[in-house]
Amino acid sequence: MVEEIPFIVLFVLTLSLAFFLSKFLSKSQPINVPKGSLGYPIIGETLSFLKAQKKDKGSNWIEERVSKYGSVFKTSLMGSPTVFIIGQQGNKFVLGTSDDIISAKKPPTLQKILGKQSLIELTGSRHKLIKGGMMKFLKPECLQNYVKKMDELVRTVLHRELKENETIEVVSLMKKLSYDMACNVLFDIDEQTRKILFEDFITAFKAIHSLPINFPGTSFWRGQKARARIVKKIVPIMNKRREELSKGAINSTNDMLSCLLAIRDENGEPLDDDIITDNFIFLFVASHDTSATLMSLMIWKLSRDPEVYHKVLEEHMEIIKQKDGNEERLTWGEIQKMKYTWRVAQELMRTVPPLFGGFRKALKDTSYEGYNIPKGWQVYWASCGTHMDKNIFENPQEFDPSRFENQAKPIPPFSYLPFGAGVHNCIGNEFARVETLTTIHNFVKMYEWSQLNPEETITRQPMPYPSLGLPIKIKPRCNNMSS
């Protein structure tokens, strides 16, 4: 109730002022913008959009407006007028237009929590510089050195969390696992600091897709406070890591924080602390929840689809069977053999995309399909516009992992977007793949389980998760081959 009271007060005040505000707003409406409704002043249609997302009905919310206004329509979300552009050509326009016209500038909530200098906000040479530095750690040649470490971490977390438990909530488990993975592999954060930062990161992430209402008690207010505590805690770690780099005690590929600290600009100068802290928070949030989402959905799918489950199990047991007796941990080569498991993950990301869509911003007046998009307006692409298009994916409602195997009909560019597209393709896609496959490998070989609520649906918070947290009954697999 503490969180709801300020919002209710604001809502009443907003409605009271709506008439007067509309008088002013109507005088300055730009011409020839897409059809649609901007909803209430300030709030716009944010509440109905978030409500639909919570029920995993965001695609229905879009379809209703597409049927009324067409594949290009206007609304207002997160405090800003927004143009939705649906379809493959629309995705290409939004994600492929140069940054000086349509920029990565995000809504106020994302800017405040992730930072104005995070990778998703940067453009031009600065974006290229930061992305290039990060890729030195995230490229496959570097990640293959961390497979054994990731495998050991997964086993440790599973043993710790599942020991003597007959029932567990998978979503909670996967969030803990992905958090530990980010702390351990990506940033080399010690265990004590991990515990301190955990709740703050959860609070900050919840604030990203909240309304930009900075009243005490609101999600946005709490998120900003959490971010400030994270920054305060990470600065001393940065200073220590910087000293270790200068002494040669570690190198730039030791972890992602060291990568960022080692970057030099065109003048040979290091990055400001603000840029590093912004990108630390961005990478932490991005790596944590997206991975936890995919791994939770994988267990959800395997619980509900016996055919898929048995094919996945067979693949992993064959990998164990062929394993060199002298090699205890997973290897990079074995990760590459998990082809069917990854196709299941790809098909899951098509049918239940972790990222529903994304905001960008018009920095100049521009146009699309004959409509004007005014400077300052947000532009939004949505993955469901192509993921469920029968002209792109045959029988899109059918779950068919084989569609990603030796495709006779290649998927058109800007049509399959779980990791974005073009220059805005997610830099962590390979990290997510290795983390997911390592986790599923250990899960299926070590345990048997059954879903306690077979009718459990998906909800978006804003990432898609099983609505009840996916409680399962679990037991060690008989004669499992874990060491």
Q: Is 482 among the domain residues?
A: no
Q: What pLDDT, on a 0 to 100 scale, did the predictor assign at position 351?
A: 95
Q: Is 356 among the domain residues?
A: yes
Residue 67 has pLDDT above 60, yes or no: yes
Exposed/middle/buried for residue 48 (C-beta within 10 Å: 0-12, 13-18, 19+): middle
| CATH number of the domain to which 30 belongs | 1.10.630.10
Q: What pLDDT, on a 0 to 100 scale, did the predictor assign at position 311?
A: 97
Q: What pLDDT, on a 0 to 100 scale, did the predictor assign at position 92?
A: 94
Residues present in the chain in total: 483
Q: How far apart are CA 194 and CA 64, in angstroms?
A: 44
Contact 340, 316 (CB under 8 A): no
Q: Is 404 among the domain residues?
A: yes
Question: What domain range is 265 assigned to?
Answer: 4-476
Residue 150 has pLDDT above 90, yes or no: yes
Q: How far apart are CA 134 and CA 139, in angstroms?
A: 9
Residue 27 has pLDDT above 90, yes or no: no
Question: Which residues are CB-contacts of 322 (< 8 A; sequence separation ≥ 6)?
Answer: none
Q: How far apart are CA 248 and CA 39, in angstroms?
A: 57
Query: Residue 370: what are its φ and ψ, rounded to 5°?
Result: 85, -5
The closest alpha carbon to 434, from 355, 346, 332, 351, belongs to 332
Q: What pLDDT, on a 0 to 100 scale, did the predictor assign at position 5?
A: 44
Q: What is the mean pLDDT of residues 151-171?
A: 91
Percent share of the chain, pLDDT over 70: 91
Q: Is 481 among the domain residues?
A: no
> Residue 282, by phi and psi: left (phi above 0), alpha (psi -120 to 50) or beta?
alpha
Q: What pLDDT, on a 0 to 100 scale, did the predictor assign at position 463?
A: 85
Residue 324 has pLDDT above 70, yes or no: no
Q: What pLDDT, on a 0 to 100 scale, did the predictor assign at position 327?
A: 64
Exposed/middle/buried for residue 55 (C-beta within 10 Å: 0-12, 13-18, 19+): middle
Question: Which residues are CB-contacts of 278 (< 8 A; sequence separation ≥ 6)?
Answer: 114, 115, 116, 117, 118, 121
Q: What pLDDT, on a 0 to 100 scale, did the predictor assign at position 339?
A: 96
How many domains in the chain? 1
Strand partners, 98: none
Q: Residue 4 has which token pair?
A: 């709801």
Q: What pLDDT, on a 0 to 100 scale, did the predictor assign at position 104?
A: 73
Peptide bond into 462 cis (omega under 30): yes
Q: What pLDDT, on a 0 to 100 scale, did the predictor assign at position 364?
A: 92
Q: Is 43 among the domain residues?
A: yes
Residue 189 has pLDDT above 60, yes or no: yes
> Average per-residue pLDDT in the chain?
86
Q: Please report which residue ranges of 324-454 form alpha helices under DSSP H.
A: 332-336, 339-351, 384-387, 429-446
Summarised one tens digit per residue, pLDDT across range 259-290 is 999 998 888 899 899 999 999 988 888 877 78
Q: What pLDDT, on a 0 to 100 scale, did the predictor assign at position 91?
A: 94
